[in-house]
């Protein structure tokens, strides 16, 4: 089974388990899990608009500035006391592991406060401080209601206001270097592989350029493997050695074929 199918199946299961209203006394009906997952699935491959947000320092943050590197988007609201804090902690752990194996300079992370009326720069700063968001490639931002609504529409994100907060899907989105939505990861404590595998896809690329850095990236993509015993990723040096031998063999074979072609051409 491919990671795409695993993610789709897991997303549906997790959505049913994890969508819950913030307040048990809320009169509003719960979100329909099947509809929310379907909405997110329809957003895959969609380009995110060039919106301008405001970060926790009050500075403008243009999403077009993220083009060129993959982007991880985590959606929260700062007054949340239930799923948003533990989800953020889990995203921090996943990003730290990705930084260790891939490099923090290879991708960016953006936490978006979707409560446009209340997620002010002051509250965003408090949220980031309480959650320990300190990585250099990670920013926290929100925007005016119209901009937030448009961004959430692009992301296929579902939420509903209820008494005391919001009923919403716990969604982390991985965007490729061209600004297109590549994968949604659902759940408060998603498996690390569901985050790392699509992130590897968009960082290393699905095709290899015939350059030294391109070949190195392809080797890293193939040889970075999850160790279930340790619960983390590692470089499988056996795969590295096999990849190097295979590449060398192809070069030798290519050289032999080229030599024979020259011989036959000048015979």
Binding-site entries for Cu cation: 80, 84
CB of 189 within 8 A of CB of 177? no
Residues tagged in the binding site annotation: 80, 84
Q: State the Cα–Cα distance between residues 70 and 64, nearest whole angstrom.
A: 12
- Please state the separation of Cα 259 from the chain's center in Å: 46
Q: State the Cα–Cα distance between residues 141 and 163, nearest whole angstrom.
A: 24
- Please state the separation of Cα 17 from the chain's center in Å: 21
- Nearest one of 184, 232, 209 to 12, comparing CA atoms: 184
Q: State the Cα–Cα distance between residues 66 and 107, nearest whole angstrom.
A: 9
């Amino acid at each position: 089974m491919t990671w795409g199918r695993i993610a789709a199946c897991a997303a549906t299961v997790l959505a049913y388990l994890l969508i819950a209203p913030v307040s048990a006394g809320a009169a509003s009906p719960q979100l329909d899990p099947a509809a929310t997952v379907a909405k997110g699935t329809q957003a895959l491959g969609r380009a995110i608009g060039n919106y301008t947000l405001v970060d926790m320092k009050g500075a403008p943050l243009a999403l077009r500035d993220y083009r060129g590197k993959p982007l991880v988007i985590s959606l929260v609201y700062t007054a949340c006391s239930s799923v948003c804090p533990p989800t953020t902690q889990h995203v921090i752990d996943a990003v730290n592991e990705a930084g260790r194996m891939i490099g923090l300079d290879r991708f960016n992370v953006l936490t978006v406060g979707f409560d446009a009326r209340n997620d002010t720069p002051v509250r965003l700063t408090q949220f980031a401080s309480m959650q320990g968001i300190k990585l250099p490639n990670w920013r926290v931002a929100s925007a005016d209601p119209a901009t937030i609504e448009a961004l959430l529409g692009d992301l296929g994100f579902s939420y509903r206001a209820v008494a005391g907060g919001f009923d919403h899907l716990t969604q982390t989105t991985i965007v490729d270097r061209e600004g297109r939505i590549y994968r949604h990861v659902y759940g408060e404590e998603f498996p690390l592989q569901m985050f790392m595998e699509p992130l590897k896809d968009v960082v290393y690329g699905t095709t290899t350029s015939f350059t030294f850095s391109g070949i190195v990236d392809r080797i890293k993509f193939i040889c970075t493997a999850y160790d279930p015993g340790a619960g983390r990723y590692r470089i499988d040096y056996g795969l590295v050695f096999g990849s190097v031998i295979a590449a060398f063999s192809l070069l030798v074979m290519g050289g032999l074929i080229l030599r024979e072609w020259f011989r036959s051409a000048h015979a």
